[in-house]
Amino acid sequence: MANKKIGFIGLGIMGKPMSKNLLKAGYDVTVFDIVQAAVDEVVAAGAKAASSPKDVAAQTDIIITMLPNSPHVKKAVLGEGGVIEGAKPGALVADMSSIAPLAAKEVAAKLAEKGVRMLDAPVSGGEPKAIDGTLSIMVGGAQADFDEALPIFKCVGASAVLCGDVGAGNVTKLANQIVVALNIAAVSEAFTLATKVGVDPALVFDAIKGGLAGSTVMNAKGSMMLDRNIKPGFRINLHIKDMANVLETAHDVGVPLPLSAGVMEIMQALKVDDLGDADHSAIVRYYEKLAKVEVARK
């Protein structure tokens, strides 16, 4: 039985299964979310409920946050009733949200003033890998803090890599999101072209997935495109958030990213078409609209 007490703040699409996996591993988990139904579900699986992020931090040794974006993390950690008010000196905060690297550094600096350590540890893999505990975790922070958190990370992820100091985890996640978004767009273009020419895109998929064009992204999202399944594992609105952080960070340091800017506008167009809550595989719908075809298995 694991002996460290873990706090978990944020029980959304990702946080809920992640917290359940920690419970399955034998950890004592105390949770908080603004959605009571999510709290009730995880409590039914064995967790304890807290009344606020401050309350979570006061009862636990390691506090995990899994929230939508930088403002939410700042509020939960640094705001009134936040983690910083309840955390004991020496506690460790692992922010597993995907936020701007500069925001991660800002939160870490404020926590350090109170003697609280921090890792930024965003994840990749979406809801399916959150459920089966095989997320990829990209971490920024001190080696000793990473080593302490690694057994916990292994309960929710298949891999965890320390990429540098605090902020490096989110830089790595931004790089990940660029590759994922552009890969989905490339698969969408390929399937749309095949469909328009009259070739079954499912056969194209089968023919190329084992070659150089094959990828984890194509296997997961190409199948969804062919099944016309846009139920979110990862919502377009969340990828828009990540790409906004990509472009802001890139512009701050003087790195032009023309392809990232282009796919951001594709996702913005889908949002206008009321597909913001669809899975990011719905990028194919943008190309379907342009080409006046419907990508599907024949």
- The amino acid that residue 50 corresponds to is A
Active-site entry in 16, 54, 105, 173:
173
Domains and CATH numbers, the chain: 5-166 (3.40.50.720), 171-291 (1.10.1040.10)
- Tell me the pLDDT tens digit for each residue of 151-164: 999 999 999 999 99
173 catalytic? Reply is: yes
pLDDT band per the 50, 70, 90 thresholds, residue 233: confident
The whole-number average pLDDT for the span 121-126 is: 92
Record the pTM. 0.90
Q: Has residue 88 got a pLDDT over 80?
A: yes
- Tokens 């999202």 found at: 221
The Cα–Cα gap between 122 and 104 comes to 11
Q: Show the CA angle centred on residue 185, arms to residues 182 and 187, nearest 5°.
A: 110
Residue 164 backbone dihedrals phi, psi, to 5 degrees: 150, -160
Distance from CA of residue 257 to its chain's centroid? 21
Beta strands 123-124; 135-140: pairing state: antiparallel
- Tell me the pLDDT tens digit for each residue of 32-83: 999 999 999 999 999 999 999 999 999 999 999 999 999 999 999 999 999 9
Q: What percent of the chain has pLDDT over 70?
A: 99
* Average pLDDT for the chain: 96
pLDDT band per the 50, 70, 90 thresholds, residue 4: confident
What pLDDT is recorded for position 2? 58
Asked if 85 and 55 count as a contact pair (C-beta separation under 8 A), the reply is no
Q: Has residue 174 got a pLDDT over 60?
A: yes
Radius of gyration (C-alpha) of the chain in whole angstroms: 20
- Tell me the pLDDT tens digit for each residue of 184-222: 999 999 999 999 999 999 999 999 999 999 999 999 999
What pLDDT is recorded for position 1? 42
pLDDT band per the 50, 70, 90 thresholds, residue 126: confident
The whole-number average pLDDT for the span 247-273 is: 97
The Cα–Cα gap between 182 and 242 comes to 13
Higher pLDDT, 133 or 234: 133
